[in-house]
């Protein structure tokens, strides 16, 4: 490292160039494809401008109105079911003295490690016409809104749980002690202290749950039966009828709904004022026997349900021919016998997840670093900031369809990406960009800006401070972002379903295709392989984080 002094300006220039690169990536991977898709919705199949004709054609039959209504109903109902369940669960963890909190917390997050379809597959197994628990439905069918909502409740549980959990962890012990010493009843404390403090967290969680529910594609596809929603409509238009223009119309509708929901989340978040003063003391629940027991039982039931539903898929993947031959077999793990690309699909998924984690983390870190720490290039930094927040409001299917339009254009010099692993990596990074970007920005904000000014006054090049100080300090966030990318890439369906090719078929897509072809046991088996992989990845992440925390994060405790 002798020549650092001479190389300094070069290093910083490379850093500057990287900023432009991140901005360019967001423009090419997000802004342009979306713009082209919007344009497509105003064109006929040969590319001529037809104004609102596609919209008129779409709305000419009553079916689309039903789809819009259904999408809304699913969004609202699944939110109304998920939020109270997740709230009570988080409440138990934060406000009671029940045993096993660590286990309960871990189990609540398990659905993040599974493809959301797995829940739908298990529900079919349990409540389908040949299901063991069919009678619990009292003659209702699982194929439809009931199945969709049930599947979504499980699949979206961790997302809402995390948000509510954060809100509940911000409680000032002094307030609660004051209330109790004044003899306030527990119910009143809950109503006047707990709920108002968690209000914004609850609203945020509700909108996030709504947004996830209206844009989810896998669950309605597997268990929705005749209950059409916008997400399955897009798929039907594009894959079933090869009508890309109407697909674009439905995409625009879904995009509008998602953007509205997203705007609502932002408004709520902006209203949230700091509930915690610097002198606050974190809340420590006191033992209350009856309450603790009730909370323990409640959390145990939910945790058992989550583990049980996943176990059902596991068991059904070993059964020879349900329900006529209940012998056990490993045959369904021979994926070469089924649709979807065999074990190669699984290897492709591993490849995609690894590339997404490595490349995605590097890009997100660079983008966040520039937004947070660099000087100059204000315009580009603002652009990154705006574009980084956008993917949150863009449903995966919409992004995927937009990519077909853009990358398959004969005039596009990037056309070689089409059908390659590269386009899958790109779309996955962009699809999950927002959450990772904000995680990274938050981590960077915690590092004092003085490091940069001190390094400037000492004439140390910025990139050296970055390598030597900033990156090591941010290591936990960097690991979090990379595991998030990895898990998302292993389980994602919606963003890649239009973009995979024969040579880049993926495990998560194979689950859909096997279910589609009626190979249900194979589908469960592949879903279980994905779950096992994600659990292993999570284990590695935990070990790495622990190791690094010991070495680089001692300053936090100080």
Partner 1 sequence: MQNQGSLLRWMRSLFAVAVCVVVAGHTPAAANTELTVYSAYENDDLKAYKAAFENDNPGITINWVRDSTGVVTAKLLAERENPRADAVWGLAVTSLLVLDEFDLLQAYTPKGLDKLSPAMRDSSGSPKWFGNSGWICAIIFNEAESKKRNLPKPSTWKELMNPAYRGQIVMSHPASSGTGFMYVSAWLQLYGEAEGWKFMDALHQNIARYMHSGSAPAALAAKGEYAVGLGFDVRGSRLKEEGAPIDIILPRDGLGWDMNTMAIIKGTKKLEAARKLVDWGVSETANKLYGSTRSIAAMPGYAKPLAHLPGDMDIRIMKQDFAWAAKHRARILAEWERRYGSKADPKKT
Query: Does 63 participate in binding partner 1 (rule CB under 8 A)?
Result: yes
- Residue 193 is classified by DSSP as I
Give yes or no for a contact between 97 and 288, defined as CB atoms under 8 angstroms apart: yes
**Shortest Cβ 143–partner 1 spacing (Å):** 6
Query: Does 53 participate in binding partner 1 (rule CB under 8 A)?
Result: no
Q: How far lies 522's CA from each of 300, 318, 333, 498, 516, in Å?
A: 30, 9, 7, 22, 11
Query: Dihedral of the CA atoms 107, 109, 111, 115 (nearest 10)?
Result: -130
Give yes or no for a contact between 33 and 405, defined as CB atoms under 8 angstroms apart: yes
3-state helix, strand, coil in the chain (%, to 5): 75, 0, 20
Q: Tell me the window of 106-114, 150-158, 253-261, 518-526 that interacts with partner 1 (CB under 8 A).
A: 518-526
Show the site string, 181-220: x = touches partner 1 by CB under 8 A, - = not.
----------------------------------------
Q: Which phi and psi (to 5°) does residue 49 adopt?
A: -70, 125
Query: Does 117 participate in binding partner 1 (rule CB under 8 A)?
Result: no
Query: Does 350 participate in binding partner 1 (rule CB under 8 A)?
Result: no
**Shortest Cβ 548–partner 1 spacing (Å):** 9
Query: Does 520 participate in binding partner 1 (rule CB under 8 A)?
Result: yes
**Shortest Cβ 427–partner 1 spacing (Å):** 12
Interface positions, 289-318, toward partner 1 (CB under 8 A): none
Q: How far lies 534's CA from each of 8, 111, 133, 225, in Å?
A: 41, 10, 29, 29
Query: Does 555 participate in binding partner 1 (rule CB under 8 A)?
Result: no
Query: Does 518 participate in binding partner 1 (rule CB under 8 A)?
Result: yes
Q: Among 226, 277, 278, 457, which residue sits at the site for partner 1 (rule: CB under 8 A)?
A: 226
Query: Does 227 participate in binding partner 1 (rule CB under 8 A)?
Result: yes
Query: Does 556 participate in binding partner 1 (rule CB under 8 A)?
Result: no
Give yes or no for a contact between 227 and 144, defined as CB atoms under 8 angstroms apart: yes
Query: Does 128 participate in binding partner 1 (rule CB under 8 A)?
Result: yes
CA distance 535 to 458: 46
Q: Which phi and psi (to 5°) does residue 225 adopt?
A: 55, -130
CA distance 155 to 219: 9
Query: Does 240 participate in binding partner 1 (rule CB under 8 A)?
Result: yes
- Which of 333, 279, 375, 348 lies closest to 525 in space, CA to CA? 333
**Shortest Cβ 308–partner 1 spacing (Å):** 22
Q: Which residues bind partner 1 (CB under 8 A)?
A: 61-63, 66, 69-70, 128-130, 139-141, 143-144, 221, 225-228, 232, 235-236, 238-242, 244, 321-325, 336, 339, 342, 355, 358-359, 362, 404, 408-410, 415-422, 425-426, 467-468, 471-472, 475, 501-503, 513, 516-520, 551-552
């Amino acid at each position: 490292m002798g020549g650092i002094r001479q190389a300094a300006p070069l290093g910083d220039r490379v850093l500057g160039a990287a900023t432009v690169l991140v901005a360019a990536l967001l423009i090419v991977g997000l802004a342009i494809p979306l713009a082209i898709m919007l344009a497509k919705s105003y064109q006929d199949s040969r590319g001529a401008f037809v104004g609102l004709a596609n919209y008129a054609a779409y709305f000419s039959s009553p079916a689309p109105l039903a789809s819009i209504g259904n999408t809304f109903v699913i969004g609202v109902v699944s939110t109304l079911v998920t939020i109270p369940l997740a709230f009570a669960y988080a409440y138990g963890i934060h406000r009671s003295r029940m045993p096993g909190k660590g286990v309960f917390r871990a189990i609540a997050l398990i659905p993040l490690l599974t493809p959301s379809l797995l829940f739908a597959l298990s529900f079919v197994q349990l409540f389908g016409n040949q299901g063991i628990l069919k009678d619990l439905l009292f003659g209702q069918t699982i194929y439809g809104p009931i199945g969709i909502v049930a599947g979504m409740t499980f699949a979206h549980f961790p997302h809402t749980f995390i948000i509510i959990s954060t809100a509940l962890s911000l409680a000032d012990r002094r307030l609660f002690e004051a209330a109790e010493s004044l003899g306030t009843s527990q119910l009143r404390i809950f109503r006047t202290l707990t709920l108002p403090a968690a209000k914004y967290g609850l609203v945020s969680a509700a909108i996030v749950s709504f947004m996830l529910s209206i844009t989810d594609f896998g669950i309605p596809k597997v268990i929705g039966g005749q209950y059409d929603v916008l997400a399955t409509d897009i798929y039907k238009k594009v894959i079933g009828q090869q009508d890309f223009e109407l697909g674009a119309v439905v995409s625009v509708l879904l995009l509008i709904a998602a953007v509205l929901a997203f705007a609502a989340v932002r408004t709520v978040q902006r209203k949230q004022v700091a509930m915690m003063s610097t002198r606050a003391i974190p809340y420590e629940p006191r033992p209350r026997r009856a309450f603790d027991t009730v909370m323990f039982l409640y959390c145990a039931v939910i945790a058992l349900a989550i583990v049980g539903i996943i176990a059902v898929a596991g068991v059904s993947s070993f059964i020879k021919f349900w329900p006529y031959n209940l012998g056990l077999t490993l045959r369904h793990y021979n994926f070469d016998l089924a649709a979807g690309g065999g074990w190669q699909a699984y290897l492709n998924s591993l490849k995609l997840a690894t590339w997404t984690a490595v490349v995605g983390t590097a890009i997100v870190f660079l983008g966040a670093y520039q937004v947070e720490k660099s000087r100059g290039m204000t315009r580009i930094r603002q652009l990154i900031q705006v574009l980084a927040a956008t993917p949150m409001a863009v449903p995966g299917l919409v992004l995927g369809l937009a990519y077909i339009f853009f990358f398959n254009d004969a005039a596009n010099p990037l056309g070689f990406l089409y059908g390659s692993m590269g386009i899958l990596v790109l779309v996955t990074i962009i699809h999950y960009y927002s959450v990772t970007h904000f995680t990274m920005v938050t981590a960077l904000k915690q590092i004092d800006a003085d490091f940069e000014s001190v390094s400037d006054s000492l004439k140390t090049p910025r990139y050296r401070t970055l390598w030597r100080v900033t990156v090591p300090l941010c290591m936990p966030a960097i690991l979090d972002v990379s595991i998030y990318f990895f898990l998302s890439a292993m389980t994602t369906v919606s963003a890649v379903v239009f973009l995979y090719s024969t040579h880049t078929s993926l495990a998560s897509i194979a689950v859909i295709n096997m279910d589609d072809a009626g190979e249900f046991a194979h589908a469960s088996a592949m879903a279980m392989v994905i779950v096992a992989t994600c659990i292993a990845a999570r284990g590695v992440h935990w070990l790495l984080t622990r190791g690094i925390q010991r070495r680089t994060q001692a300053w936090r405790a100080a």
